[in-house]
Amino acid sequence: MAKLLNGAELVGYIKERQARQVRALRQAWETIPRLVIIKSTSASAVIDVYVRMKQRYGDDILIETVIETVDDAAMPEMIKRHNDDPQTHGIIVQLPLADPAKTDEIVNLIAPEKDVDGLGNRARYDSATATAINWLLAGYGVNLSKKAIAIVGEGRLVGAPLARMWRNSGYNVTVVDKKYGDIDLKETLRASEVIVTATGVPRLITTDMVPVGSVVVDAGTASEGGVIVGDVDSAVRLRDDLKITPEKGGVGPLTIAALFDNVIQAAQAAAKQNEEG
């Protein structure tokens, strides 16, 4: 069997540190960190599961987590209300929206200092998922310097921010996306040492595409019959020469941790500003 890159094994240490930071905010700064999750009335049962996972994590480290369920038309007013509320430190819009074409318009309404998912054009925080992938690879001692890296999918949640982050760090990154029709997926992956995939296309990455000894991060999610599946075919995980994320517990737990790290930072900044103010 492959060596598993298990984010669930790493998250406990991060959670302990975050709980200490929240206690300090509450006791020394008299600040109760608050995250607001705005989700669409059209949200699926799978999305509801994700939202509950975030709420449970917040509860565990004593961050107040508020869930607002509204239709897409009401989101701008809801965002404005929480932008203007000094007791709210972080705001996220749980995607997808009923009308995905409105995503840019909606997420860019979030105040940059409260955009803890890092999705808006002016967000002060890095993408939570991109940060989680960095944490995961660092936690398992994967050094990205001088590695040939392939990112499959250039979506706003994972591929685009991760490619930007890694290129800014000077890493050798090739992005494969359907809008770049001239890039051959199999050929690119066969020449890569680190593969991150986040397309939401089940079983897109097959074992013949993955070179010996490579590192594979499956950050893709899709629902098939109510079951969450990734981009990587199950046969890939049967190999014993790879480092790869498990079907569950890979990037997801660390993404939630990274999100709440940003909430803590936002609350710390607000507390400092209040003290100076």
pLDDT at 46: 82
pLDDT, tens only, 132-177: 999 999 999 999 999 999 999 999 889 999 999 999 999 999 999 9
pLDDT at 1: 67
Domains defined along the chain, listed by start: 8-113+253-272 (3.40.50.10860), 128-247 (3.40.50.720)
Look at the chain and count its residues: 277
pLDDT tens-digit series, residues 242-253: 999 998 889 999
Mean pLDDT of the chain: 94
Please state, in angstroms and rounded to a whole number, the distance separating the CA atoms of residues 250 and 217.
8
**Two tokens, residue 28:** 């020394």
Which pLDDT score, from 0 to 100, does residue 36 have?
Answer: 98
Q: Are 106 and 75 in contact (CB under 8 A)?
A: yes
Q: Token digits for 153?
A: 């999918």
pLDDT digits (tens, 9 = 90+) for 50-99: 999 999 999 999 999 999 999 999 999 999 999 999 999 999 999 989 99
Distance (Å, rounded) from C-alpha 257 to C-alpha 16? Answer: 11
For 205, phi then psi, to 5°, come to: -95, 110
Residue 208 has pLDDT above 70, yes or no: yes
Quick: pLDDT tens for 26-64: 999 999 999 999 999 999 888 898 999 999 999 999 999
Q: Which pLDDT does position 89 carry in this prediction?
A: 98
Q: Which of 95, 64, 113, 39 is nearest to 260 (CA)?
A: 64
Cα distance between the two ends of the chain? 57
